[in-house]
């Protein structure tokens, strides 16, 4: 199987850059070591499935960290056309990209208001997620001085102990909603343990947030993230805001994944070689051939976001790849730009220079790779590199 020979336009979303079925970005396919395919139809299907589950609550979309490595512009553009009206990003730089992709959507910035940035929020029509009394004072001062009524979210800390004002401060601020231009367009909090449904902190946070919501009656509220959508009605409030589940990572660990896979990563084989029994492969000589071994070396590595912790050694098997339709184990350390794969079990000539190995896709999910690396799907997705030729389908 060969990598598609698709040229990469300078702006993949510009008119004429590609059809609705396939857009491209990054270096041309014949110059790239690997191809990342993002299935926008799957992202949309996941968003719609989560929307149906949380009805009648609004379903927003979290597109921070470059839409979890999948690309803010294509993801936001597609979801906005599909009916998504609210997006969450991490910072102002991401808000600028989201605003270009979704001109009419509400864009909330989760990291809040950095000093001196209020005017930039107004210019973008972006809404800060206010997480401290200091931020609120600065935002109120700007809004008053400039008669700005663009709105902001108020983040209440219910147990994460990261960002957000205390429940007591939220109670003290509640009378402000009686003012005509109070400026609070969303009341929100964040679940710390939603991926563990039986954890007692879930019920504690849901109950505390319910008490705060009563004080802010009439203000839309949001609590549930991806896994929170599966905690039931008590977590839904007026808006759910899934992130990683949109991109195919399992929001219900330990159970079957209800989401569709949204990405495929294939790397080009740059060399096929044989090592004899007893020879070592890769850095630190950590993997030793137990017999004459045939290797396929592919052009991807930890510089591309493939986790080094997924390496194979004599002590641990590491991850796998799919070559010529068969699962094959890695051999040796994942290096910066290269990965060696043990293809001894394949028939002769079934894998050649220029063919590809599937690193994520087919039977190998993002969660599978994360497990092999001792990490989580979030980290795998957000680490996806910029050297890939990218294909956006759907």
pLDDT digits (tens, 9 = 90+) for 112-138: 999 999 999 999 999 999 999 999 999
Mean pLDDT for 213-217 is: 97
Give the structural domain span for 294: 263-393
Averaged pLDDT of the chain: 94
Q: Where are the beta strands (DSSP E) in 189-262?
A: 221-222, 239-240
Could you tell me if 236 and 308 lie in one domain? no
Could you tell me if 272 and 174 lie in one domain? no
Mean pLDDT for 289-306 is: 98
Confidence of residue 214 (pLDDT cuts 50, 70, 90): very high
Mean pLDDT for 369-382 is: 97
Could you tell me if 95 and 178 lie in one domain? yes
Q: Which of 247, 281, 299 is the last residue of a domain?
A: 247
Confidence of residue 13 (pLDDT cuts 50, 70, 90): very low
Pairing mode, if any, of strands 34-39 and 389-393? parallel
Q: What is the pLDDT of residue 298?
A: 98
Could you tell me the CATH number of the domain that includes residue 119? 3.20.20.10
- Percentage of residues in the chain having pLDDT higher than 90: 93
| Domain-located, residue 35 | no
Q: What is the pLDDT of residue 5?
A: 34
Question: Which residues, at least 6 apart from 34, have a Cβ–Cβ distance to it below 8 Å?
Answer: 265, 266, 267, 268, 298, 299, 300, 304, 359, 387, 388, 389
Cα–Cα separations (whole angstroms), residue 231 to 158, 183, 191, 378: 16, 30, 11, 20
The yes-or-no verdict on residue 18 having pLDDT over 60 is: no
The yes-or-no verdict on residue 276 having pLDDT over 60 is: yes
How distant is the alpha carbon of residue 122 from its chain centre? Answer: 26
Catalytic machinery residues = 64, 283
The yes-or-no verdict on residue 4 having pLDDT over 80 is: no
Helix (H) or strand (E) holding 378: helix 377-382
Confidence of residue 217 (pLDDT cuts 50, 70, 90): very high
- Percentage of residues in the chain having pLDDT higher than 70: 95
φ and ψ of 358, to 5 deg: -90, 115
Query: Into how many domains does the chain fold?
Result: 2
Could you tell me if 106 and 182 lie in one domain? yes
Q: Which of 196, 216, 247 is the last residue of a domain?
A: 247
Could you tell me if 317 and 197 lie in one domain? no
Could you tell me if 160 and 74 lie in one domain? yes
Q: Which of 212, 247, 282 is the last residue of a domain?
A: 247
Could you tell me if 95 and 233 lie in one domain? yes
Closest CA to 355 of 295, 288, 271: 271
The yes-or-no verdict on residue 11 having pLDDT over 70 is: no
The yes-or-no verdict on residue 10 having pLDDT over 60 is: no
CA atoms within 13 A on the CB side of 345: 12
The yes-or-no verdict on residue 215 having pLDDT over 50 is: yes
Q: What are the tens digits of pLDDT across the range 325-337?
A: 999 999 999 999 9
Confidence of residue 394 (pLDDT cuts 50, 70, 90): confident
The yes-or-no verdict on residue 73 having pLDDT over 60 is: yes
Could you tell me the CATH number of the domain that includes residue 322? 2.40.37.10
**CA 362, 364, 367, 373: dihedral to nearest 10 degrees?**
-150
Radius of gyration of the chain (CA): 24
Q: What are the tens digits of pLDDT across the range 152-162?
A: 999 999 999 99
The yes-or-no verdict on residue 15 having pLDDT over 50 is: no
Could you tell me if 232 and 273 lie in one domain? no
| Domain-located, residue 59 | yes
The yes-or-no verdict on residue 14 having pLDDT over 60 is: no
Angle between helices 72-82 and 92-101 (to 10 degrees): 50
The number of helices, as runs of H, and strands, as runs of E, in the chain is 10, 20
Mean pLDDT for 205-211 is: 98
Rounded to whole angstroms, the Cα distance separating 73 from 91 reads: 15
| Domain-located, residue 359 | yes
| Domain-located, residue 110 | yes
Q: What are the tens digits of pLDDT across the range 257-273?
A: 999 999 999 999 999 99
| Domain-located, residue 21 | no
| Domain-located, residue 8 | no
| Domain-located, residue 15 | no
The yes-or-no verdict on residue 86 having pLDDT over 70 is: yes
The yes-or-no verdict on residue 287 having pLDDT over 60 is: yes
Could you tell me if 283 and 371 lie in one domain? yes
φ and ψ of 329, to 5 deg: -80, 155
Pairing mode, if any, of strands 106-109 and 86-89? parallel
Could you tell me if 203 and 71 lie in one domain? yes
| Domain-located, residue 2 | no
Could you tell me if 200 and 298 lie in one domain? no
- Residue 247 tokens read as 């991109």
Residue entry with tokens 């270096």: 27
Pairing mode, if any, of strands 221-222 and 326-329? unpaired
The yes-or-no verdict on residue 344 having pLDDT over 60 is: yes
Could you tell me if 117 and 239 lie in one domain? yes
The yes-or-no verdict on residue 12 having pLDDT over 80 is: no
The yes-or-no verdict on residue 377 having pLDDT over 50 is: yes
DSSP 347: P
Q: What is the pLDDT of residue 21?
A: 63
């Amino acid at each position: 199987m060969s990598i598609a020979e698709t040229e990469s336009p300078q702006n993949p979303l510009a008119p004429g850059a590609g059809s609705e079925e396939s857009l491209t970005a990054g270096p041309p396919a014949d110059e790239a070591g690997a191809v990342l395919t993002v299935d926008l139809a799957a992202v949309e299907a996941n968003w719609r499935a989560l929307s149906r589950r949380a009805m009648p609550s609004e379903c927003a979309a979290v597109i921070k960290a470059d839409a979890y490595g999948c690309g803010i512009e294509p993801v936001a553009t597609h979801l906005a056309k599909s009916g998504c009206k609210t997006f969450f990003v991490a910072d102002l730089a991401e808000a600028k990209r989201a605003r270009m992709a979704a001109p009419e959507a509400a864009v909330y910035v989760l990291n809040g208001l950095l000093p001196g940035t209020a005017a930039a929020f107004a210019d973008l029509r972006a809404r800060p997620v206010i997480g401290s009394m200091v931020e609120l004072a600065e935002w109120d001062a700007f809004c008053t001085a400039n008669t700005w009524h663009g709105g902001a979210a108020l983040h209440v800390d219910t147990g994460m102990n990261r960002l957000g004002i205390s429940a007591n401060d939220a109670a003290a601020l509640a009378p402000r909603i009686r003012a005509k231009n109070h400026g609070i367009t969303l009341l929100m909090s964040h679940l710390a343990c939603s991926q563990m449904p039986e954890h007692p902190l879930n019920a504690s946070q849901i109950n505390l947030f319910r008490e705060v919501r009563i004080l802010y009656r009439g203000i839309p509220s949001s609590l549930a993230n991806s896994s929170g959508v599966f905690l039931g009605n008590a977590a839904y409030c007026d808006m759910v805001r899934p992130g990683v589940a949109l991109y195919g990572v399992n929001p219900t660990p330990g159970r079957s994944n209800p989401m569709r896979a949204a990405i495929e990563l294939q790397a080009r084989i740059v060399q096929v070689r044989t090592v004899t029994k007893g020879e070592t492969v890769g850095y630190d000589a950590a993997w030793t051939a137990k017999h004459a071994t045939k290797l396929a070396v592919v052009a991807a590595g930890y510089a591309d976001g493939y986790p080094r912790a997924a390496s194979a050694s004599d002590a641990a098997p590491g991850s796998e790849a799919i070559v010529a339709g068969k699962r094959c184990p890695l051999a040796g350390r994942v290096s910066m730009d290269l990965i060696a794969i043990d293809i001894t079990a394949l028939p002769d000539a079934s894998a050649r220079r220029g063919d590809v190995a599937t690193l994520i896709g087919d039977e190998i999910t993002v969660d599978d790779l994360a497990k092999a690396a001792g990490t989580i799907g979030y980290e795998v997705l957000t680490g996806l590199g910029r050297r890939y030729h990218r294909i956006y389908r759907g």
